[in-house]
Copies of this chain bind each other. A is one copy, B any other.
């Protein structure tokens, strides 16, 4: 051992190493911040910072009085690289474009009400959009937007700006979830995407909410994007 002056990054790396090599196995408790600080030859603040980062990543769990222990499955959670379509396209050097295929105000279908956790039936703005990369189909999107969660959405012109980007600017979300799966192309989606019916499509669903002032969260939007065959999402581990 005999370390000399760890930086907080080095401290984090060393702690992670000890966890991954089994020196501190899953479920075990690890030394207190002060003890580690002394061993690493640095202040408690640095160890605290290192441990807090690892806790945020899900590698360790911390509780006041009771110390820090290794998670049952100490693995860092992968981060998806590009969550926004336009960015995704432009990162590949393509030209992004979008076509508004349909726009209707309609009562929320039962499935969508469930996704948005809407208690009462309400009118939602339903959009169908085709996203393009260099003019070629990139994703077919069906989106439902709650006018209550996104004030002004009924006046927006989604032929000019994509719903995604409009919402980003005018109805920022506080939290949300994303779900990824594989689906079969129905005839309509296949035609729009230029795929053969029955082809496997990557399906990406996003739901977002806004956490009001003290009230309970208000749903903003639910969107399902279908990508043509061959499309892959990337994440770093």
Contact = CB atoms under 8 A, between A and B. Distances in A.
Oligomer copy total: 2
A70 to B, nearest CB: 12
Select the residue from A173, A230, A234 with max chain B CB neighbours within 10 A. A234
Interface in A84-105: 84, 86-87
Given A79-B78, A201-B182, A177 B20 contact: no
Contact of A180 (B77, B202, B237): B202
A90 to B, nearest CB: 9
Contacts of A178: 78, 234-237
Interface in A192-206: 198-203, 206
A73 interface: yes
A73 B78 contact: no
A75 interface: yes
Contacts of A27: none
Contacts of A180: 180, 202, 232-235
A229 interface: yes
Given A182-B202, A229-B182, A232-B179, A172 B21 contact: yes
B208 A182 contact: no
B73 A22 contact: no
A236 B209 CA distance: 12
Nearest to A228: B182
A225 to B, nearest CB: 12
Given A180-B234, A182-B182, A182-B227, 16 more contacts: A17-B172, A20-B168, A75-B84, A77-B83, A78-B80, A175-B237, A176-B237, A177-B234, A178-B235, A179-B235, A180-B232, A180-B233, A181-B232, A182-B202, A182-B231, A198-B198
Interface of A: 17, 20-22, 72-73, 75-81, 83-84, 86-87, 168-169, 172-173, 175-184, 198-203, 206, 208, 227, 229-237
26 contacts: A20-B172, A21-B172, A22-B169, A72-B87, A73-B86, A75-B84, A77-B83, A78-B80, A80-B235, A173-B237, A175-B236, A175-B237, A176-B237, A178-B236, A180-B232, A180-B235, A181-B182, A181-B231, A182-B200, A182-B201, A182-B203, A182-B231, A184-B200, A198-B198, A200-B200, A200-B201
